[in-house]
Structure 1
């Protein structure tokens, strides 16, 4: 099998297809042939793409090399620093080559990578950055624009931010490149959002729209899903006579197409209606059938199993079987507690995402400030032109000319003052945002360094030359992420814009402080922990602690936490 891969020149087919399709086709070829084979063979074949891209002078195809390598590590090793490294390489090269669309695409892919491993905050940051680039480049220029928006909507939907999900879905539906089956899915999801918020009329409208599109496309699977969702709305409204035919059809179609989980959900709803009609024995049989299916998929069906346990407890109470009723009531309570804990975790993630959205809003405010500055400039120019016209027209009256001139000077001074104030506000917002982004990047780099250290430690215990070679590579990559003199200079410049008097006050109050001391104290000012500071400065956590102890002596205090308190006050 490996010999076949080594001899086959499958990437050569890229030479005969249009440039706009090459990168996506290259990724498809890689996934079909090299995704799960030995790494040495896979990377040798992937590196052939570099030669083909150079031969064709195809910059976008060259980026696909990084995409394939990032995917290989992700599929075979899970979350790892190598995938992050290669995604970032693709982003950096796209920026260097001036490829705006590709920059947005690979930022989006890196966000997808974080989302896959449930790292929601960095995923959200990257999704929003990619979305901004897509909007500025023009949605019509982004391949799969509607699909990407749908994925962002799914991201928000999974975390319970239904309004953000709905907003992205509606924008995706307006996109001209939305595919038929994706369109049915998006419309159906909008319906589920309205159903979740109790807006049943809106939910029925979207579910019925999805049903009509599915029938028109002869998509029997989506026809069944839409029918089931329509039945669920009537079920939630307790309009059981209307709901039952829809739900029965949903159950029958789910069994037919092998959608057992969805069929079990429909069966619990049928059991609820059966119990409502006081056919308790029949309802219990239906529940037992559903329970067997739920036990195969315990995690994804927790919400529906809770409903099932509550229903079973109610039925046993009505059948005058208190012991059985109590048993299922306890199971119901335990499952409800588990769901509550999951919701608590998602609530924390939503809080973090709100912070990310607020930061995004700060960027919008920054753009608005720039727009206001431009308007002031245009108004100032218009004012000057108007002044020249007035002066030319009233030249015969010197007294009036003097009055007009004085007024114009005052107006120009006011405009200049407004312009300077607006520019200062914009610079302050720029500095705060840049320092925040810089610090976030340092934190991400610190996480990467920690992964590198762990992998380096493992490799250094190996004697195999291949491991030693990769260990040297990891060492170089790790050193590249530690705060260098250049990055310190960039960091200090941003820091001084946000905290202009910080270093000056330190120099006056503590003249014996060194440049190294200043670096450490600036990180303390940003409230970074010892692990984050150690990673950024390239020293151990113990080294950070010793440096803090030495600084306490320099500033004349040995109290624990005195450095943090002092930095917060400056």
Structure 2
């Protein structure tokens, strides 16, 4: 039993691998290919898996495609699977328009982010289809066309095989709203686009729309040119279809000219082809024209027979437009038969249908005009909001700029003030350094001066002590004279003294205004702690004279004899 479990697991894994390999092999030839290279395969995929009522199987097929794309890192194919899923939700699951619109817009956004033109165009075409046929919002549908067209200009028919078809669709939309000038414009541009073999009929559609536009404008010869071009462009596979359509167009132009002999065989051929391919719309239109021709050519019985066939085709087609003309023919035929009751009934019905069609067309035109006005109003509101937002943004930017400028100005003034303060501080510091240097220098000079006086006094004393009487009085006097301050030396000494003891002499004069120059010099020398001998030598007087000066100063300061004069000197 234990041995069977691994075997079953291996078998199951092998089956899953085989299934996945088959899914991968199914899409292997379209992986990392361009849209044009895998266009036919994607069309076949859509025809096989999306034109079915089996929601689950179609969803699984799309998921398989997505898984293969993710494994192969094929971003374009991943977007393709996203778009196919929205197509499946629209055609098979019939989800709500609101949900579909949201989902399709997400696919468009992904296409824009990936700069994938073909996804953007096809997703917008699906959104256009949703607006046109489900929500009946024609203006939003036209808005999609306006966004699609610039994208189409960036690609070619080889790169995007649906280009001619898309342009033709735009032209037909303008034809529906009787904007024949734009209808012709877009259809003519479609004719300039190269198409693949499968899309050859797109050119015929464009030429048929142009021809019908010219018919509406009364330009019958120009219409014939394009109907004839369709006949020249038909191929083996689509010959019967487009030959019948072109002959129906040519039959219409000849009918409008009154060339009934030419119109009749062309219209008959169109009816035959329409019945073969099961197109009751064309049959109804041509049979109506034929019945009118029969009536106009006085073949009443043929007119009556043909108008009955026409009414059956109208019934099968569900169109109202042919009934307007057909009921007029019924009225005319019954009038010739003398049946006035039926004549009036059909003519009234014809007028009623005419009014109904006119009202419907006018309603559609009015609806589009209203939608356009609403859209313009919405755009105006959005523009107004955007403008207000822009103004607010501008105001915010201006405020930010002003704030930045204010910060810059404040920073400038701050830096200027900072540099000024720093410069001022630097000057003060330089001045302080200079003052300190000068003070140091002055202190040294004054100390050198005091030391010099002391040394000279010691020298005189040494000489006197050593040689006694041998030292001549003249030599002693010369040595003493070298220590005496001259007036010039005193001024220099005073300058040094003021630098060291700033304001001392000024305070001394304020406290003792009556001091003599000798007493002032005494006080200065006392401040330097010179002895009486050094003072006497410096002042050129005797020691006794120094004591006399000190005594006079004591009296002026009222200092008793036992008090220390040096204390007073230091306090000044």
Indicate whether the TM-score tops 0.5: yes
1:162 corresponds in structure 2 to 180
Counterpart among 126, 129, 134 of residue 109 in structure 1: 126
**Alpha-carbon spacing, 1:233–1:69, altered in 2? closer, same or farther (3 Å):** same
Question: 2:498 is matched with which residue?
Answer: none
2:330 to 312, 334, 339: 312
Residues 1:272 and 1:30: Cα distance change in structure 2 (over 3 Å):
closer
Larger radius of gyration: 2
The superposition leaves residues 511-544 of structure 1 with CA deviations (integer Å, 9 ceiling, x where unpaired) of xxxxxxxxxxxxxxxxxxxxxxxxxxxxxxxxxx
| Residues 244 and 191 of structure 1, relative CA distance in 2, 3 Å threshold | same
Q: Distance in 1 between matches of 2:59 and 2:200?
A: 37
Question: Structure 2 length as normaliser, TM-score?
Answer: 0.58
Aligned partner of 1:436 in structure 2 is 379
Aligned length: 373
Contact 2:168 2:205 in 1 (8 A): no
Distance 1:152 1:353, change over 3 A: farther
Let me know the Cα RMSD of the aligned residues: 3.5
- SS of residue in 2 equivalent to 1:233: helix
SS in 1 for 2:278: coil
Matches within 5 A, 1:43-192: 43-75=59-91, 76-77=93-94, 79-117=96-134, 118-137=136-155, 141-177=159-195, 179-192=199-212
Q: 1:15 maps to which residue?
A: 28
Aligned equivalent of 1:406: none
In 2, the alpha carbon distance for the partners of 1:81 and 1:11 equals: 34
1:257 is matched with 277
Which of 214, 217, 224 aligns to 1:197? It is: 217
Aligned residues of 1:294 and 1:305 also touching (Cα < 8 A): yes
SS state at 1:19 partner: coil
Q: Distance in 1 between matches of 2:172 and 2:247?
A: 22
Structure 2 contact 280–316 (Cα < 8 Å) conserved: no
Whole-Å separation in 2 of the counterparts to 1:58 and 1:325: 68
Instruction: Structure 2 unaligned segments of length 5 or more: list them.
Output: 1-14, 397-572
Task: Tell me, yes or no, if the aligned pair for 2:215 and 2:223 is still in contact at 8 Å.
Answer: yes
Structure 2 vs 1, CA of residues 171 and 275 (structure 1 numbering), >3 Å: closer, same or farther? same
Cα distance, 1:105 vs structure 2: 3.4
The Cα shift of 1:25 comes to 3.6
Partner of 1:345: 363
Deviates more, 1:190-199 or 1:172-181: 172-181
Structure 1's 161 and 77: CA in aligned 2 closer, same or farther, altered over 3 A?
same
Aligned equivalent of 1:529: none
Task: Call closer, same or farther: CA 1:143–1:349 in 2, change over 3 Å.
Answer: farther
Cα distance between partner residues in 2 of 1:255 and 1:95: 46
Aligned equivalents of 1:325, 1:60: Cα separation in 2: 64
Q: State the distance in 2 between where 1:222 and 1:22 align.
A: 28
Q: Which residue of 1 aligns with 2:354?
A: 336
Q: Is the 8 A contact 2:139 2:372 kept in 1?
A: no
Deviation per CA, 1:439-475: give whole Å up to 9, x if none: 49xxxxxxxxxxxxxxxxxxxxxxxxxxxxxxxxxxx
Which residue is equivalent to 1:284?
304
Q: So what's the TM-score if we normalise by structure 1? A: 0.58
Is 1:297 matched up with 2:190?
no
Q: Does structure 2 conserve the Cα–Cα contact (< 8 Å) formed by 1:69 and 1:86?
A: no
State the distance in 2 between where 1:104 and 1:161 align: 23
1:364-402 deviations in Å (ceiling 9; x for gaps): xxxxxxxxxxxxxxxxxxxxxxxxxxxxxxxxxxxxxxx
Q: Distance in 2 between matches of 1:350 and 1:116?
A: 14
Unaligned runs of 5+ in 1: 360-431, 441-490, 504-570
Matched, 1:223 2:243: yes
Q: 1:266 Cα deviation (Å)? A: 1.9
Distance in 1 between residues matched to 2:260 and 2:392, nearest whole Å = 65
Verify the 8 A CA contact 1:43 1:69 in the aligned structure 2.
Answer: yes
Distance 1:82 1:12 in 2: 33
